[in-house]
Structure 1
Amino acid sequence: MLDYALSFAISCFALALLLTLWRLATAPTIPDRILAVDTMVVNVIALIVLYSLMRGHALNFEAAMLFSMTGFVSTVAFCKYLLRRSIIE
């Protein structure tokens, strides 16, 4: 039963990732694209965690943590660039 639930969750997050990719391609403004990239990071993190639960590997949790930190820093850097046109002051 857990395998079916994990498979369903993985397929839902994969569909959400594809829809977010479509939003990234058709977004009218740059802040919309930044939000789409941040949403894609969240979806990929969820897919990594669900895959590691399905396979029983603990190493993927560390990969998800590193990916989430990288996604957070990149989102902050993009937003700071949009506000000030400079990342490093």
Structure 2
Amino acid sequence: MIEYALGFAYLAFGAALVLNLWRLAQGPSAADRILALDTMVINGIALVILIGVSQATAVYFEAAMLLSLVGFVSTVALTKFILRGDVIE
């Protein structure tokens, strides 16, 4: 039963990644593109966690933590760059 749930989750997050990629390419403003990129990182983290669950190993959970940290810092840096024109004051 868990295999069916994992398969459905893979499909759902894969479809979400494709839709976010479309928003990233078609976004009319920079804010839309930043939100699409941030959502893609979140969906990527979910896929990494799903791989960890399906393979029953904890290594992927640590990778997901690192990916979430990088995603948060990159979102803050891009937002600061859009607002001020530079990242470091």
Same fold (TM over 0.5): yes
Aligned position for 1:48: 48
Please list every run of 5 or more consecutive structure 2 residues that lacks an aligned counterpart in the other structure. Answer: none
Aligned position for 1:64: 64
CA distance in 2, matches of 1:13, 1:44: 8
Number of equivalenced pairs: 89
Q: Percent identity?
A: 56
Give the 3-state SS of the residue equivalent to 1:87 in structure 2: coil
1:53 Cα offset (Å): 0.2
Moved beyond 3 Å, runs of 4+: none
Aligned position for 2:8: 8
1:57 Cα offset (Å): 1.4
1:10 Cα offset (Å): 1.0
Considering only aligned residues, what root-mean-square deviation do their CA atoms show, in Å? 0.6
Q: Is 2:21 the counterpart of 1:21? A: yes
Query: TM-score w.r.t. structure 1 length?
Result: 0.97
